[in-house]
Each structure stands twice: as C-alpha cells, then as structure tokens.
C-alpha cells in the first residue's frame, strides 16, 4: 500500500483535517512532524514487524492503528478526553454528620510546628532559678566560713579587752558589782551592747563561742548583701558581689575576730536591706531601718560614717516607683535615726567615748600615701572592679540578656550614674578619714565597711566582664581566684601579727593574785585569761603611767616608770617589745640595774614579723 496525504503511513486511516486553521507552536505534540497550516509532510518509512520471521504474514497496520489514534487527535480533544476519564466523587447519601466530622478530623495534621519564640527563656523569676541561686549562695557562705575558721590564734589584745569588759558589765548588771574602769570613756562603742553579748557567748563556749558570734554576723552580712543586690539588679550580679566580698581580707578576719566590727557591719547591712526591700512600700515603712541603723552606731561609733549612704539609697531605690515623693523616705529615715541617737546620747554617758575614739581622736604621724597604699592592697582589686561596673552600668542599664528586655524601660542614666557614684565613693570614706587622722589603727577592719557597699557595683563589673550567656567565664573565674589568693595570704598574715600567749599565761598563773600590782605591755590578754585571779585595776600599761611617790609627787612618762621601779612598786613586769618598743627597752635597762627584780622567764614566740620573746620579771 502506497502512502498518501490522507494516509501517510498506509495504515488504513486518514488524519483528520485541521478545520480551524490552527498552526501548532513548538509545544504542540505534532510540531516536529512538520504539521503547519493543516498540512503534514510525511517521510517515507518502511514498516516491519520485528517479532515475525521472513515467512510470517504481512504487516497488518489496522491492528496497531487504534491504540495510537488518540495521539493524532487535536490537542484540545486529548485534554478533554483526559479530564473526562477522571472519576467524579459522589457524596454518600447515607453518611451521617458524625461520620463526616470524623473523616474531617482524620484529615487534620497529626503535628503542627509551634511558633518559634523570640527568646529561649523567661525573664520572670522562677522557682528553679531561685533555688539554683540559693544553692550557689550556700556554697559561697560555706567557703567564707572555712576561710575564717582556718585562722587560729589566742585572743588579740582588743578581743581580750572587750570580752573582759563584757564580763564586768554582766557582773554589774546582774550583781551590782562595781566596774573597775569606765569603759564608755574610751571604748569605740557602747560597752553595754556588743561586749555583753560576746561575754555571754564566751561564758558558754569560751573564746571560740565569741568568735562564732562574729562568724554568724559576717555570714549574715554576705547573705543580706546578696539579697539586696539581687533586689536592685539580678541574681548573677548578686552572686558575683557575694563571692567577691566573701574572700576579702576584712571579711575573712572579721569572721573569726571577737570585736565590735562584725556586729556593726551586720546591722548596717540589715538597715540597707530594709531600705532596699521597702522601695515599693509607703514612706513610713522605711522607718523600720531607723532602729537598726541607730543600733549599728551604738555598737560601733564609726558606723555613723556610712549612714549618709543608706539615706541616699532610700531615695534612689524608690525613685522609679514614687518619683519625687521618694525624697520623703530619706527625710523620714534621717529624722528617725536622729531622734533615736539623740535619745541614746541623753540617756547614757557615751559622749566622752565618742569624742575620744571617733570625733576628737588624736592625730597620728603616718603619711597619707602609706595609708592609701595599704588600703589599695587590702581592697583595691574589688574597688577597681566596682569602678568598671559603675562605668558600664552608667553606659548601659539593661541587666537582662533576653531580647524581650530591649523594649523595656530601665532606670534612667542619671539615676544609674548616681547609684554608681554613691556606692563606689562609700568605699573611700574610711581610708579618707584615717588619712585625715594620720593613723592606720584598725584600718584593715574599716576598709571592709566600704567594700560592702562597693560590692554590688563589683558584681556588675564581673557580670559585664564575663559577658552575655557566660561568653568569657574564665575571666570572672580568674578575677575571683586572684582575690581569693590575696585574701588568704593577707588574712593569714593578719592573724599572726600578735604572738600566741598560751605559754605566757602558764608562766604568769602561779605569780598573779588579786592583791599584787603589775606592769605589762599587752596586759589585757593576761587579764582576760586570768580574770578569776586578777582584775584590770591591778595592771599598769607601758604606754601611760601616772605614779605618785611616797612624798605625794606625781611622775609621768619615762620618769614615772623609773621612779616606780626604783621604789619597787610593781610585783611583776611583763615586756614583749611589740607595742611600745622604746619604752620596753628603757624599762628593761632599768630592771637589769635594779636589785629589787630578777628575770623569771623568757618565753619565745613567733609572729608575722619574725620572732621575739616575752620577758617576765618578778620582785625578789
């Protein structure tokens, strides 16, 4: 069969003629066949069946033409044909609404991807965060307690004096016994407050009990520091502040030192905590801090130096909540403290002691540079960290790392600057005052009062140094370890400044009674340990004497000691060469040439400055 235009392949059918004059484009399935304008150019093709042999029947085109006929139909007919073959879904007539709802629910996705929050944690306080923070605080307190309790020595001169005075005050209050000395005339705090409490602890547990009282006060100070710093800023800053404060020399030593300082520092911290804690309460609530602050001043008069800081904090902490009305908080607190202190002055005889030990203290000869250098060695690192924190806080007040805090309004720049200046400047009060007096007496203790108020700013400094999300924790750890090593070395040296007096007391015990007259440089230690055998009235110090001879003439200074020894006034003399080295040498020379006395014993000792010896002379 020959192919033709109507049947190009000779298969027994003809290609439908294009009626609409459609010219296929390159996407048309017949474009490659040369179909244009309804005409087809058909190449000659040889037809054969590969599955048949040469003897098979000839190729039957009609047998295979039908399956391929659809591909020669126009494009629109093919599309219509394919659409027609799709079965139409008919709704079930017997489907109930419940079954329809069940089928709809089955079509719901099994899991939906939740919306991603803008922050991975919540800024609000949580129980978990609170418990973790408290657990870390307990670790800090445990470290502080261990650092203090590792220090060991016999009673220091001041400890012995305050404890003995406390026992005398107890006897006076309970039994009406006469006081051997008017302690309020030269004590730096009321003899009716801390000495009495410490004497009660000493009566029950000895010197260890009195020192344990100081440890409890210092641990409470650190805990309250954490609490009010957390209230002002956040947990991280509070923990950093507590960790730094806990390893300073002042904190470690005062935690095992039975003097006024630990109790006064605790009361100041408690007053500060009340001020910060009542920042959202009424102005009258701040008056709760007035008796506590007044009591702190009564315990140690020098605590009054830090009252202005507490008054300023009473205003600054309440300013975001009360605005200008917060000024009344400061006024009310100042009035309350002034009223209580005025009543205390009128009802007691402590004014002489305040003038002698605080306001009218004699000026020394130590240079300001030497005192500044010592202060920097004891608290300079914490103070420098606090300055960095104050500058950083003034520049950026946001304390939270959450992106949600970007839209929150924090404290204003002016308030942030004022808080930083007040807290950091407070650390300079004690060094500045003692530089004015020209004396370094008790400076190592007083520095700790200022470091308490600088610690919150130091906490901010550590927080910013570590960075967001603890980016550089090694820097904070390095700073803390350096401060720990410095605090360890300084506290160990400080607790070894005075010699151990155990052997000396054993030597003196057989020769001391309630009728003799004695001369000693650090006689307070002997009086404390032998208070059942002797009293303070029987002892004369080596720094001051007023001797009246048999003719009624009064001799003072070096002449007083010489005349008293020549007359054989003293039954026993104890010299250590520490407190009054020049006077001790003069007395020793006189004793060597005096036939009335003989050297009883030489008791060697070791201290932080080297070695020495107690020399005990008795009357022949």
Q: How confident is the model at residue 351 (pLDDT cuts 50, 70, 90)?
A: confident
Is residue 587 within 8 A of residue 607, CB to CB? The reply is no
Integer-rounded Cα radius of gyration of the chain: 47
**Same domain for 163 and 33:** no
pLDDT of amino acid 405: 52
Candidate from 33-42, 379-388, 517-526, 527-536 with smallest mean pLDDT: 33-42
287-306: string of b/e by CB count within 10 Å (b at 16+)? bbbbebbbbbbbbbbbbbbb
Q: What values do phi and psi take at 465, rounded to 5? A: -70, -40
pLDDT at position 203, please? 96
In a domain, 101, yes or no: no
Q: What's the pLDDT score for residue 283?
A: 86
DSSP string, 47-76: ---TTS-TTSPPP-HHHHHHHHGGGGS-HH
Q: Which of 19-23, 153-157, 186-190, 473-477 has the lowest mean pLDDT?
A: 19-23
* 426, 575: one domain: no
Instruction: Give dist(CA 500, CA 152) in Å, integer.
Output: 10
Identify whether 6 is part of a domain.
yes
Please check whether residues 196 and 57 belong to one and the same domain.
Answer: no
Query: Do 306 and 454 contact (CB within 8 A), yes or no?
Result: no
Q: In the sheet that 610-619 helps form, which strands lie side by side, from edge to edge?
A: 539-540, 518-520, 572-575, 610-619, 597-607
SS3 (DSSP) at 399: coil
Classify residue 353 by burial, with Cβ atoms within 10 Å: 0-12, 13-18, 19+.
buried
With a cut of 80, say whether residue 132 has pLDDT above it.
Answer: yes
Of the residues 82, 97, 122, the one at which a domain ends: 82
Give 109's contacts (C-beta < 8 A, 6+ positions apart): none
575 found inside a domain: yes
- Mean pLDDT on 173-177: 91
- Residue 184's pLDDT band (boundaries 50, 70, 90)? confident
- For residues 490 and 540, state if they share a domain: no
Q: What integer pLDDT is reported at residue 444 of this predicted model?
A: 94
- Per the model's pLDDT, the better-predicted residue between 233 and 88 turns out to be 233
| pLDDT tier at 397, thresholds 50, 70, 90 | confident
The predicted-structure confidence for 446-463, as pLDDT tens digits, reads as follows 999 999 999 999 999 999
In this structure, are 314 and 417 located in the same domain?
yes
- The reply to whether 449 falls in a domain is yes
Q: Based on the domain organization, do 340 and 460 belong to the same domain?
A: yes
126 is a domain residue? no
Residue 53 banded pLDDT, cuts 50, 70, 90: very low
pLDDT in tens, 193-212: 999 999 999 999 999 999 99
Q: Do 528 and 444 share a structural domain?
A: no
- Boundary (domain end) residue, out of 453, 470, 495: 495
Q: Which of 566, 575, 536, 564 is nearest to 556 (CA)?
A: 564
Q: Please state the rounded mean pLDDT for residues 127-145.
A: 93
Selection from 171, 194, 169, 204 nearest residue 183 by Cα: 169
Mean pLDDT of all residues in the chain?
A: 85
Do 419 and 469 reside in the same domain of the chain? yes
Where in the sequence is the domain holding 576, given as residue range(s)?
502-619
Q: What percent of the chain has pLDDT over 90?
A: 64
Residues 452 and 564 both lie in one domain: no
In a domain, 183, yes or no: yes
Q: Is 131 contained in some domain? A: no
Quick: pLDDT tens for 64-91.
Answer: 555 555 555 555 555 555 555 555 555 5
Residue 52 has pLDDT above 50, yes or no: no
- pLDDT greater than 70 at residue 602: yes
Vertex 468 angle, CA 463 and 472, to 5° = 75
Looking at the fold, whether 529 and 429 belong to one and the same domain comes out as no
Same domain, 357 and 378: yes
Q: Are residues 328 and 458 in the same domain?
A: yes
334/326 Cα distance (integer angstroms): 13
Domains held by the chain: number: 3
pLDDT per residue as tens digits for the range 142-167: 999 999 999 999 999 999 999 999 99
Kindly report the CATH number assigned to the domain that includes residue 521. 3.40.190
Domain boundary among 56, 82, 108: 82
Residue 306 lies in a domain: yes
């Amino acid at each position: 069969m020959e192919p033709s235009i109507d049947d190009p392949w000779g298969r027994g059918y003809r290609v439908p003629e294009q009626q609409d004059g459609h010219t296929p484009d390159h996407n048309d399935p017949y474009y490659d066949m040369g179909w244009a304008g309804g005409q087809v150019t058909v190449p000659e093709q040889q037809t054969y069946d590969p599955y048949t042999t040469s003897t098979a029947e000839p190729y039957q085109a009609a047998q295979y033409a039908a399956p391929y006929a659809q591909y020669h139909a126009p494009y629109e007919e093919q599309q219509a044909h394919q659409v027609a073959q799709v079965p139409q879904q008919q709704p079930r007539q017997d489907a109930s609404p419940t079954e329809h709802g069940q089928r709809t629910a089955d079509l719901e996705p099994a899991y939906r991807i939740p919306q991603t929050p803008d922050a991975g944690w919540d800024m609000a306080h949580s129980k978990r965060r609170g418990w973790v923070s408290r657990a870390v605080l307990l670790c800090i307190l445990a470290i502080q307690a261990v650092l203090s309790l590792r220090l060991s020595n016999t009673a220091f001169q001041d400890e012995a004096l305050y404890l003995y005075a406390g026992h005398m005050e107890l006897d006076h209050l309970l039994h009406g016994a006469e006081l051997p000395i008017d302690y309020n005339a030269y004590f730096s705090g009321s003899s009716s407050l801390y000495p009495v409490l410490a004497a009660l602890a000493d009566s029950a547990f000895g010197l260890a009990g009195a020192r344990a009282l100081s440890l409890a006060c210092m641990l409470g100070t650190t805990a309250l520091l954490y609490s009010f710093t957390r209230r002002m800023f956040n947990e991280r800053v509070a923990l950093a502040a507590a960790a730094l404060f806990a390893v300073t020399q002042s904190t470690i030593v005062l935690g095992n030192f039975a003097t006024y300082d630990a109790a006064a520092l605790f009361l100041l911290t408690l007053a500060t905590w009340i001020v910060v804690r009542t920042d959202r309460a009424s102005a009258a609530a701040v008056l709760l801090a007035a008796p506590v602050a007044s009591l702190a001043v009564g315990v140690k008069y020098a605590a009054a130096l830090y009252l202005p800081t507490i008054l300023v904090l009473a205003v600054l902490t309440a300013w975001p909540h009360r605005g200008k009305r917060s000024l009344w908080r400061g006024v009310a607190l100042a009035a309350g403290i002034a009223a209580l202190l005025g009543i205390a002055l009128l009802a007691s005889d402590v004014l002489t002691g305040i003038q002698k030990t605080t306001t009218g203290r004699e000026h020394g000869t130590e240079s300001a540079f030497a005192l500044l250098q010592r202060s920097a060695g004891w608290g300079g690192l914490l103070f420098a960290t606090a300055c960095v924190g104050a500058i950083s806080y003034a520049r950026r007040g946001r304390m939270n790392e959450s992106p949600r805090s970007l839209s929150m309004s924090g404290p204003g720049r002016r308030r942030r600057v004022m808080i930083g200046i007040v807290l950091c400047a407070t650390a300079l009060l004690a060094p500045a005052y003692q530089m004015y007096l020209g004396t370094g007496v008790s400076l190592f203790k007083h520095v700790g009062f200022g470091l308490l108020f600088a610690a919150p700013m130091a906490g901010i400094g550590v927080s910013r140094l570590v960075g967001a999300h603890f980016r550089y924790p090694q820097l904070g750890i390095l700073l803390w370890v350096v401060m720990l090593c410095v605090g360890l070395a300084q506290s160990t040296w400080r607790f070894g400044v005075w010699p151990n007096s155990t052997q000396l007391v054993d030597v003196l015990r057989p020769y001391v009674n309630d009728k003799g007259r004695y001369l000693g440089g650090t006689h307070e230690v002997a009086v404390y340990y032998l208070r059942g055998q002797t009293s303070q009235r029987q002892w004369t110090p080596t720094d001051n004497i007023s001797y009246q001879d048999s003719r009624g003439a009064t001799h003072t200074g070096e002449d007083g000691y010489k005349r008293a020894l020549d007359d054989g006034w003293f039954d026993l003399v104890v010299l250590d060469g520490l407190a009054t080295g020049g006077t001790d040498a003069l007395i020793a020379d006189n004793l060597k040439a005096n036939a009335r006395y003989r050297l009883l014993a030489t008791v060697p000792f070791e201290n932080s400055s080297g070695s020495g010896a107690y020399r005990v002379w008795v009357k022949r």
